[in-house]
Structures are given as structure tokens and as C-alpha cells.
């Protein structure tokens, strides 16, 4: 018992010293500037999609909208592919179990799945990210 208490005191004191002296969890030095945000990107909006959910689910409809982050040079090509993107998103969301849509963690999974599908349609290197701007179950 005494060895356990002594160990806890030593570890607690070592942790306090490491934080107090700045060895860990130290704030950034005042002279450092944050990294610059890249300027060569654009957002292509995906219009709102309303999807009817399966009978028996707690919600009847899903309203969904998003933004595709692309390189500025690829914007025109990506805008031209928007009908395909809407089709892919629509087909994917219809295949998802409505119970999964109600879970809080499902949005992260949905976003990753949709991003991967959009990247497949657009080809390698055009789409950087996908942002969900509207997700309403009603």
C-alpha cells in the first residue's frame, strides 16, 4: 500500500513538473505565426436533396446539402459533373438504413463514404474534401 501511494505521489509530482516547466502542453511561442491557409481552392455547392425514407422509420424525409472542396483549376470540370454527384449521393443515402441516420456518429461515416464516392466519379486529385452543410431529418 505504501509503495502504491509513494508511486502515485512521484508520478503526480513528475506530471506537475512537466506541465509547469513547459515540457508538455506548452503554449506556442509568441513569435510563431500560424501556417498560411491555402488559397488555391474553391467550393462547388451541391443543391439540396430531399430523400423519402423507408416506411416505419421515425422520420419521413431527409434534407441534405453539401459543398465540394476542389482545386481552383478543377472548378469548371467539377461543376459540369454535378448531376452525376447528385445521383451518387442520392443513391447512397437511399441505401443507408434510416436507423443509422439518427445516430450522432453517423454523420462522420456518411461524410467519408460520400467523399470517397465523389472522388471516384471525379477522378484522382480533383476533390479535396466534402462538407455537409444541411442534414435535416423530418
The C-alpha R_g of the chain, in whole angstroms, comes to: 24
pLDDT digits (tens, 9 = 90+) for 59-92: 788 899 999 999 888 899 999 999 999 999 999 9
> Phi and psi (nearest 5°) for 111?
-60, -45
pLDDT at 28: 63
In this prediction, residue 95 carries a pLDDT of 87
Residues of the chain predicted below pLDDT 70: 26-32, 34
- Given this model, what pLDDT does residue 30 score? 67
Buried b / exposed e along 41-58 (16+ C-beta atoms within 10 A): ebebebeeeeeebeeebe
The reported pLDDT for the residue numbered 42 is 93
Q: Which residues pair with 51 in a beta bridge?
A: 62
Per-residue pLDDT, 26: 65
For residue 27, what pLDDT is reported? Answer: 67
Q: Residues 65, 49: contact at Cβ < 8 Å?
A: yes
CA 21 to mean position of chain CA atoms: 35
The predicted pLDDT at position 101 comes to 81
Amino acid at each position: 500500500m505504501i509503495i502504491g501511494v509513494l508511486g502515485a505521489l512521484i508520478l503526480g509530482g513528475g506530471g506537475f513538473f512537466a506541465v509547469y516547466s513547459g515540457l508538455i502542453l506548452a503554449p506556442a511561442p509568441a513569435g510563431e505565426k500560424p501556417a498560411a491557409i491555402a488559397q488555391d481552392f474553391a467550393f462547388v455547392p451541391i443543391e439540396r436533396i430531399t430523400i423519402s425514407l423507408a416506411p416505419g422509420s421515425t422520420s419521413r424525409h431527409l434534407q441534405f446539402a453539401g459543398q465540394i472542396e476542389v482545386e481552383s483549376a478543377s472548378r469548371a470540370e467539377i461543376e459540369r459533373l454535378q448531376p452525376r454527384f447528385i445521383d451518387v449521393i442520392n443513391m447512397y443515402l437511399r441505401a443507408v438504413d434510416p436507423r443509422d441516420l439518427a445516430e450522432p456518429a453517423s454523420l462522420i461515416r456518411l461524410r467519408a463514404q460520400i467523399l470517397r464516392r465523389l472522388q471516384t466519379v471525379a477522378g484522382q486529385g480533383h476533390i479535396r474534401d466534402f462538407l455537409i452543410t444541411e442534414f435535416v431529418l423530418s
